[in-house]
Chains A and B, each alone.
Chain A
Amino acid sequence: MWPLRSGVSRLSRWPPAKVALVQCPVWWTTDPPLGLAQLAGSLKHFGHETEVFDLSIELYRERGEKYKNAWAWEQFAFWQDAAWMADCFRDHAAFWDRAVTRILESDSPVIGFAVFLGSLRTTLEVARRLKAAAPDRVIVLGGEYFFLGGKAEELIRHPSVDAIVTGAADFAFPELVKKLQDSGRLEPCPGAVVKRDGEILSGGERPPQDSLDELPFADYEPFPLALYEDANRIPMTASRGCVRRCAFCSTREFWKGYSYMSGERIYAEVAHHAKRHPGRRHVEFYDITANGSVPSLERFAELVIEKGPTIAWKINAIIRPEMTREVLDKLAASGCTSIIYGLESGSEHVLKLMRKEYGPAVAERVLKDTHEAGIKTTANFMFGFPGETDADFRETLEFLRRNHRWLDRVYPSRTYTALEEHAYLFEHPEEFGIKVDPAKPTNLYWETLDGTNDFLVRMKRCDEFCALAAELGIDVQKGLDAELALDRQLSLAQYHEFKSNDLEAARAYLAYAELDLQNPASLSRLKDYEIKLAGKHPDDVASRDALALVRATLWQAERESRTGAVTDRSAEFSGAR
Chain B
Amino acid sequence: MIQETRSGNERLAELRRRQQENTRLNGAEYDRRQLILASSPQHVFFQLNAVCNADCIFCSKGYDYPIFELDPYLEKFGKEVIPLLSRAEKIHLTGSGEFLGLPDSKKILRFFNTEFPHVEKLFATNASYLGPQICELIANGGSRYSLQISLHASNPELNRTMMRYDAFDKVMRQLRHLIELRDKNGGNPRIRLMFVLTTFNIEDLPNFVRLAAELKADEVAAGYFYIYESQQKYLSLYFKPDLANRYIDEARKVADELGVVMRLPPKFGQSPHEYQRADCCSEPWTQVMLNVEGNVLPCDVFGDFPETLAEKPFREIWNGPAYRTIRANLRESKGCILTCPRHNPSSVNDWDSHVIHRSKGDAAIVREYNEAMKRP
Contacts and interface: CB of A to CB of B under 8 A. Distances in A.
Given A514-B324, A560-B320, A565-B321, A552 B25 contact: no
Contacts, number: 46
Contact of B37 (A517, A552, A560, A565): A552
Nearest to A553: B36
Contacts of B319: 552-553, 556
A555 interface: yes
Interface string A541-577: 0000100110111011001100101010000100000
B53 interface: no
B21 to A, nearest CB: 9
A548 B24 CA distance: 13
B36 A545 contact: no
Nearest to B37: A552
Contacts of B34: 510, 514, 549
Contacts of B28: 545
Contacts of A514: 34-36, 324, 328
A238 interface: no
B173 interface: no
A513 B324 CA distance: 12
Interface residues of B, number: 18
A549 B320 contact: no
Contact of A559 (B25, B29, B38, B316): B316
Nearest to A555: B315
Contacts of B38: 545, 548-549, 551-552
Contacts of B312: 563
Nearest to A557: B36
Nearest to A549: B38
A572 B328 contact: yes
B36 A560 contact: no
Nearest to A547: B38
Contacts of B315: 552, 555-556
Nearest to A571: B325
Contacts of A517: 36
B36 A549 contact: yes
A552 B36 contact: yes
Given A514-B35, A548-B38, A556 B320 contact: yes
A64 B29 CA distance: 32
Contacts of B328: 514, 572
Interface in B18-38: 25, 28-29, 34-38
Q: Could you say which of A510, A514, A555, A556 has the most chain B C-beta atoms within 10 Å of its C-beta? A: A556
Interface in B294-332: 312, 315-316, 319-321, 324-325, 328
A568 to B, nearest CB: 9
B316 A556 contact: yes
A517 B316 CA distance: 13
Contacts of A555: 315
Interface in B22-76: 25, 28-29, 34-39
Nearest to A513: B36
A543 to B, nearest CB: 13
Contacts of A551: 38
A551 B312 CA distance: 19
Contacts of A572: 325, 328
Interface in A361-389: none
Q: Could you say which of B25, B34, B39, B328 has the most chain A C-beta atoms within 10 Å of its C-beta? A: B34
Contacts of A553: 36, 319
Nearest to B327: A514
Contacts of A513: 36
A517 B324 CA distance: 11
A33 to B, nearest CB: 36
Interface string A91-112: 0000000000000000000000
A413 B157 CA distance: 76
B36 A567 contact: no
A500 to B, nearest CB: 22
B42 to A, nearest CB: 15
B324 A560 contact: no
Interface string A492-534: 0000000000000000001001100100000000000000000
B320 A565 contact: yes
B199 to A, nearest CB: 49
Contact of A560 (B25, B29, B35, B321): B321
Interface string A332-355: 000000000000000000000000
A470 to B, nearest CB: 14
Interface of B: 25, 28-29, 34-39, 312, 315-316, 319-321, 324-325, 328
Interface of A: 510, 513-514, 517, 545, 548-549, 551-553, 555-556, 559-560, 563, 565, 567, 572
24 contacts: A510-B34, A510-B36, A513-B36, A514-B34, A514-B35, A514-B36, A514-B324, A517-B36, A545-B28, A545-B29, A549-B34, A549-B37, A549-B38, A552-B38, A552-B319, A553-B36, A553-B319, A555-B315, A556-B36, A556-B320, A560-B316, A560-B320, A565-B320, A567-B324
Query: Lowest 8 CB-CB distances: which A-B pairs, in order?
Result: A548-B38, A514-B35, A552-B38, A549-B38, A556-B319, A553-B36, A559-B316, A552-B36
Given A514-B324, A552-B319, A556-B319, 17 more contacts: A510-B36, A514-B328, A548-B25, A548-B38, A549-B37, A549-B38, A551-B38, A552-B36, A552-B37, A552-B315, A553-B36, A553-B319, A556-B36, A556-B315, A556-B320, A565-B320, A567-B321
